[in-house]
Amino acid sequence: MSICAKSKIFVLVGSPGSGKGSFSEFCIKNFGWSQLSTGNLCRKHVSNNTEIGKHIDFVLKSGKLVSDNIIFDMVREWLIEQINLGKSILLDGFPRNLVQAEALNSLLNEEAFRNICLFVVKFVVSDDIVIDRLCGRLVCKNKNCQAIYSSAKGSLSRPKNDMICDKCLKELEVRADDNIETIKERLKVYHEHEASLLDFYTKKEKNIIELDASMPIKNIFCSFEEAINLMGLDS
Ligand code: ADP
Ligand code: ZN
């Protein structure tokens, strides 16, 4: 018997490069869940040169956070569209600070979201490992795909063909913010907010699933499956 028969939202908390995106790809493929990556949405706006895109391009390149209002409007619109589909949801990259966590909390208290259970998944990994990973990361140029690969020799995530996406056959690229200077800024911003974010959810007595994110993605996924089975959750 499941302890939570309601729809589930998994808030993924982890530094840049901790594997939240790859983990989401796994859950989509294996469980059919939905993912909202606020980073992917932001990059789509930039690529489509929308009004929002023009406004946030520079922020993304600097590694700082986009304003809470812009992000929250995107999330709210997406969640309202998704909620009736009844699928479990992965929030990848949101909330990223206390203000966003509080805004999400208020939204989930609204009538339309009455049937939601929230869980937090924490990705634990050192900065040294993620810096290495991000320096070798490749992503699909197609903004409707944005699949993630690694250029590291021997990595299981290398594309089958050099610089070509296995999924949509478009070209791969290095993300504009995956340079050492911006990576360090993104890590700094992440560490500024991590404790208050986790504290918020601990005080709300939300279940926090901790994963060793230094492991290969398949192991991380197995640990997650074990954790949700132990908690009596259905996938
Ligand atoms: P990473 O976690 O690897 O740094 P993301 O793809 O999650 O990358 O985010 C890339 C950028 O998009 C962030 O550096 C930030 O500028 C912006 N962004 C994404 N999500 C948020 C958010 N919840 N709040 C503010 N800015 C965000
Ligand atoms: Zn692709």
- Give the model's pLDDT for residue 231: 87
19 C-beta closer than 6 A to ligand 1 = no
- Give the model's pLDDT for residue 1: 41
User: Is residue 176, in this structure, part of any structural domain at all?
Assistant: no
As a whole number, mean pLDDT of residues 161-177 equals 97
Residue 4: pLDDT band (50, 70, 90) is low
Residue 6: pLDDT band (50, 70, 90) is confident
User: Is residue 174, in this structure, part of any structural domain at all?
Assistant: no
211: domain CATH number is 3.40.50.300
94 C-beta closer than 6 A to ligand 1 = yes
Burial-class residue 129 by CB neighbours within 10 Å (0-12, 13-18, 19+). middle
Greater pLDDT, 76 or 3: 76
Among residues 35, 216, 23, 219, the alpha carbon closest in space to that of 122 is found at: 23
User: Is residue 60, in this structure, part of any structural domain at all?
Assistant: yes
User: Is residue 105, in this structure, part of any structural domain at all?
Assistant: yes
118 C-beta closer than 6 A to ligand 1 = no
172 and 164 Cβ atoms separated by less than 8 Å: yes
User: Is residue 24, in this structure, part of any structural domain at all?
Assistant: yes
- Give the model's pLDDT for residue 5: 58
Q: Residue 49 belongs to what domain range?
A: 7-126+190-230
Q: What is the pLDDT of residues 35-66, one digit of tens each?
A: 999 999 999 999 999 999 999 999 999 999 99
User: Is residue 184, in this structure, part of any structural domain at all?
Assistant: no
Give the N- to C-terminal CA distance of the chain in Å, as an integer: 12
pLDDT of 3 above 60: no
66 C-beta closer than 6 A to ligand 1 = yes
Count of domains forming the chain: 1
User: Is residue 90, in this structure, part of any structural domain at all?
Assistant: yes
Greater pLDDT, 221 or 7: 221
Mutate to test the pocket of ligand 1, among 62, 125, 186, 189 (most ligand atoms within 8 A of CB): 186
User: Is residue 58, in this structure, part of any structural domain at all?
Assistant: yes
Per the prediction, the chain carries an average pLDDT of 93
pLDDT of 68 above 80: yes
